[in-house]
Amino acid sequence: MNMKTNKTPGWTLAGLILAFTSVSDSLAAVPSFSLAWSEYPSWSVFGVAHVQKLIDGREGRLGPIEKKWNVDIVLKEAEYDPCLTMYGSGQCDAVCITDMDVLNPSLTRPSVVILPTSTSFGADALIVPNTIKEVKQLRGRKVYGLAKSVSEYCFVRNLEVLGEQEKDYTFSNMDPGAAAVAMQQKQKEIDAIVVWNPFVLETLNKRKDAHVLFDSTKIPNEIIDTVAVAQSSLDKPGGREFACAVIDTFYAVNQRLTNPKSRDDTLIAIGEKFSHLDLASMKKVVQQTKFYGSPKEGTDILTGSDLKQIMTKVVDFCVKHEIVSSAPKIGYGSKPEAPGVALRFDPSYIRIVAQKK
């Protein structure tokens, strides 16, 4: 009796060890890749996807979409600048980044834009007191905003659209959060700021005597929010599947945004990830940050004739303002279609996801 009693737990333990080993080996066999993301409406989607259990952003844990593509997505949340640093130094495989900011890391780490997530359509704005009615009134005054960023790009491009010369205006470097607070508190000499959401909405809510003089609606699709992946990561086993899983995740959350039954709950979830904004504010935010919420919209951006013209403007601006030391070589299409480039805009991964739906 004792022999039988002793023997049964022994076999059970061995079975458990074998089962555990099998599970561990199975997980070990699943390629793992990391995505760095920061709080921004169309990038907070990835944090929401984790909360809503579409994916599991923890290493070694797989959600339904990860199982579908047999790849482990590890989410790394940080402020925007640390995300850029992480990506530039090779501490993550992919990053949520703008079409402008991806230029610099691509010079040393060849990169591929696999997914456009949204575009600024009023989310970047020049805010001034109501006493300033036209842009010419800003000559001789300082305009505050983050230098060498989309804020300065938005300001300069709007001047060009209005037929004005950049040399006639002074853009002064200031952190957008600090600039917004200074404007809200009516600090002396801070009467013109260029900031992005949520600073735009917060400032307008607190300064009823201020208004938007111009914004990014005048330069549609020029400020593009994207997901970029290192070419070296795409070349690894599972790299293709990782790109597809990230894209699949983005569109899965967007489907919930288009469904009237789940739209408000999903907006609230994104708002919790994006500066803790409420539903009413988030409805305004997603008007000013237009999501490319379907594979067709994403593909249209990456294959449209406008993209090459837009990137020429973006690169010229970045070289002129010494944001990049030199212009990276840019290509469009798959790796065989555009070999040997520093930065590539590739719609092929979106197409794979669309076909697998």
pLDDT in tens, 182-220: 999 999 889 999 999 989 999 999 999 999 999 999 999
Tell me the average pLDDT across 322-351.
Answer: 97
Half-sphere exposure in the Cβ direction for 316 (13 Å, CA): 9
pLDDT tens-digit series, residues 128-137: 999 999 999 9
pLDDT band of residue 27 (cuts 50, 70, 90) is low
**Looking at residue 325, what DSSP letter applies?**
S
pLDDT band of residue 258 (cuts 50, 70, 90) is very high
Tell me the average pLDDT across 2-29.
Answer: 46
DSSP assignment string, 94-146: EEEEETTTTHHHHTTS-EEEEEEEEEESSSEEEEEETT--SGGGGTTSEEEE-
Task: Give me the chain's average pLDDT, please.
Answer: 91
The whole-angstrom separation of Cα 66 and Cα 95 is 18
Cβ neighbours around 153 below 10 Å, total: 24
The whole-angstrom separation of Cα 182 and Cα 202 is 12
Tell me the average pLDDT across 140-164.
Answer: 96
Q: Residue 273 has what pLDDT?
A: 82
Q: What is the pTM of this model?
A: 0.88
pLDDT band of residue 272 (cuts 50, 70, 90) is confident
pLDDT band of residue 356 (cuts 50, 70, 90) is confident
Pick left, alpha or beta for residue 115 (phi over 0 → left; psi -120 to 50 → alpha; otherwise beta).
beta
Residue 292 confidence (pLDDT) above 70: yes
pLDDT tens-digit series, residues 62-87: 999 999 999 999 999 999 999 999 99
Residue 51 confidence (pLDDT) above 50: yes
pLDDT tens-digit series, residues 99-112: 999 999 999 999 99
285 burial type by CB count under 10 A (0-12 exposed, 13-18 middle, 19+ buried): buried
SS3 of 189, please? coil
Partners of 173 in beta bridges: 145
Residue 3 confidence (pLDDT) above 70: no
pLDDT band of residue 275 (cuts 50, 70, 90) is confident
Q: Residue 210 has what pLDDT?
A: 97
Q: Residue 28 has what pLDDT?
A: 60
Length of the chain: 357
Smallest Cα–Cα separation from 157: which of 343, 310, 4? 310
Q: Residue 274 has what pLDDT?
A: 78
Q: Residue 153 has what pLDDT?
A: 96
pLDDT above 70 covers a percentage of the chain that reads 92
Tell me the average pLDDT across 283-303.
Answer: 95
Residue 323 confidence (pLDDT) above 90: yes
Q: Residue 78 has what pLDDT?
A: 93
Q: Residue 12 has what pLDDT?
A: 54
